[in-house]
Chain A
Amino acid sequence: MLAAILAAGLAVGATYALIGITYNLMFSASRVMSFTAGQLGMAGGVLGALFIARLGLPVIPGFILALAGCALIGVVTEYVAVRPVLKALDQHLYVLSTLGLALMIQQFTAIEWSTEPQPFPRLLGLSTTGPWDEKFWLPILACAVAVGGLEYLYRHTLIGRAFLAIAEDNFAARALGLPERNLRIASFALAGVVGGLAGFASGELLLAFFANGAMLNFLGFVPVALGGLGNNRGAVIGGLALGLFQQAANFIVGGVFASVAVFTVFILVLLLRPQGLFGAPVARRV
């Protein structure tokens, strides 16, 4: 029983954490909270099922194509929903533009794919069951790989440092001659890949279902708020904690009360530490 809670809790937690990182990646490149993050996760699952189960591609090409599709959605988000509103960030128009695009992605999937959850293929076909089933550890592995990869990118590569530079100070980075616009597009493509990875790796658990987008949007935002905006490590810890807490609440109180429990804790944390558990208060000139 404890093993079941741990396995499922860490698996959904890792998925929420990856969606949280997707939010962060888009935010640090543009200062925009893009509400397409959850839809990227949904698209990862749906595209994976489309390429592998429906069109019969082998797992590796199907995986690459699914992530490429999500990267494309990321780039489209930048062009359609982010770039036009960048000039008026203080009016928070991006809430409307990114939510609108997210709804369009969701409805398009509902019409073209299905309104019923569709099966996601067994990726490795291992015969393990119970807590050691691949559907539980694949999302955790994906999360570890994504976090490790991003750390490497930011610390050891030139393009990663350039990402950090525009996240740190947009104007100074441009003054230094960094191609801010292209870096932003690359960031959104990268966010698409991470979001798609979340959906693909958790496909066996969440199924290829159009309504997963809204759910991930919501629950993926919680680790961002808990961990502090832009803080990937905070998002991972927040996400795993959320998954474990949610699964334990499912077991202890059951049913819809579990959601109430999750958001009660969320609101309490934000009341006590508005900057997030791991974020530092930012000084603001007044």
Chain B
Amino acid sequence: MKLTRRELALGTIAAATIPAQARAEAEPIRIGWLAALTGPLASPSIGFDRGVRFATDEINAKGGINGRKIELVVRDTQGDPTKAVNATQEVISRFKVHAIWGPTNSGELLATTPIMARAKVPSLVAGVVNSLIDPTKYPNAFRVTPSNIQWDAAVRNYTIEKVKAKKVAVVADATGYGTAALADSVAGFKAANIEVVYSATIDPAQPDVSPDILRMKNAGADAIVAWTVSSGLAARLMNARAEAGWDVPIVGHPAMGTGEIGKLVTKPANWDKVYIIGYKSCSFDDAGKLPARTQAFVDAAKGKFPLNDTSLWWVVSGVDSIRLIAEAVEKTGSSDADKIIGYWNTLTNWPGLYGTYSFSTTEHNGFHTDEIVMQRANSQHDGAFALAPGYA
């Protein structure tokens, strides 16, 4: 068809007179999903990604939100802060996304959070570092996972209330993370009037940790609190505990529940009485059942993607994030940044799959601390763990 100059002019006038509302309805809701899909930090993002795509497909299959489809703008950051910064700028400036989910590592988030705040893009945060959330500096950023402070409190509360420890030994690996976590943990126990009889950072390559275990035992510790992401160190602590004929519980970081540990303990029993941070929504109760809401999701997801090679909480956290953005657009009828942020600020006890979230204009750490529980480290199947003793 040949287009004459007159027709073009008429068309332009016609397009300009269509109400802005109608045009916006046709426009998809663009969500920037910045994920470390490859590289050494990829495993959480691969889990999150499954949830993100599941929720997106589910919403789009029902016709979208107010007639608008969700469009994911996915960028692989490889866990590298430099690439994450570039990806953030790209999705904001070039794709003009309405909201951002990710990046999912604290190191990347430290670099990208100020950029998102400058552009006032609503963003959901899945990093644990405390300073990432500040409603005054970053009014656009909302945390949908627990912070370090919440993890620390959950471990401390379990050790004091359920293990009933009066004296604790606190250890961590000699990394930047471990050193910081050790200091916070020791300060927390002291503030709760619990005696810290031993505290130390241990080199993850130290071949034999029996001297450390002996010192903890001689000091009369009732529990060992361990902050390490090193499976070698964690397994050595468990083996040395067994060799010393000592059976106090080890409580701490979720990395002590990875499958690698199972290969490194000299006896399967050495992995008993190790309790790791987990979430109520992704825990089996004594009857071996997941909470009904989670089970319904697992049933719906069955056959769509594997659940046995990733943590379940990563997947359900991805689902929640997309649903949080979608609901804000649906309820306010707009994908404007101010509307989405304003809506999130009004949420109280929003029932997600991963957790219950509450936000306000002054509190953007939305995850409820009481939904963080301890789980048996050696009980993983289908991405979830059994509750530790004491939650009956």
A residues apposed to B, CB below 8 Å: 1, 4-5, 8, 11-12, 115-119, 129-130, 202, 205-207, 209, 211-212, 215, 247, 250-251, 254-256, 259
List of B residues within 8 angstroms of A115 by Cβ: 40
Smallest beta-carbon distance B380→chain A, Å:
16
Whether A251 pairs with B205 at a CB distance below 8 angstroms is no
A4 to B211, CA, bound (A): 8
Known contacts A12-B207, A254-B200, then 6 further A-B pairs from the complex at CB < 8 Å, ordered by chain A residue: A8-B208, A11-B208, A207-B264, A212-B205, A247-B211, A256-B174
Contact digits for B207-244, partner A, Cβ 8 Å, 1 yes 0 no: 11011101100000000000000011001000000010
CB contacts under 8 Å to A, within B272-300, are: none
A118 to B261, CA, bound (A): 9
List of A residues within 8 angstroms of B174 by Cβ: 255-256
Number of interface residues of B (CB under 8 A): 23
Closest to A205 in B: B207
Whether B203 pairs with A205 at a CB distance below 8 angstroms is no
B residues apposed to A, CB below 8 Å: 40, 174, 198, 200-203, 205-208, 210-212, 214-215, 231-232, 235, 243, 260, 263-264
- A-B contacts, 5 of them at CB < 8 A, read A1-B214, A5-B211, A206-B207, A207-B264, A254-B212
A4 to B240, CA, bound (A): 11
Q: Are A256 and B210 also in contact (CB < 8 A) when A115-B40, A118-B263 are?
A: no
A256 to B206, CA, bound (A): 10
Closest to A204 in B: B266
A278 to B102, CA, bound (A): 60
Closest to B172 in A: A255
Closest to A136 in B: B208
Smallest beta-carbon distance A154→chain B, Å:
30
Whether B231 pairs with A8 at a CB distance below 8 angstroms is no
Whether B208 pairs with A116 at a CB distance below 8 angstroms is no
A126 to B183, CA, bound (A): 41
Q: Are A4 and B207 also in contact (CB < 8 A) when A116-B231, A254-B215, A255-B200 are?
A: no
A119 to B211, CA, bound (A): 21
List of A residues within 8 angstroms of B231 by Cβ: 116-117
Whether A12 pairs with B203 at a CB distance below 8 angstroms is no
List of A residues within 8 angstroms of B210 by Cβ: 4, 8
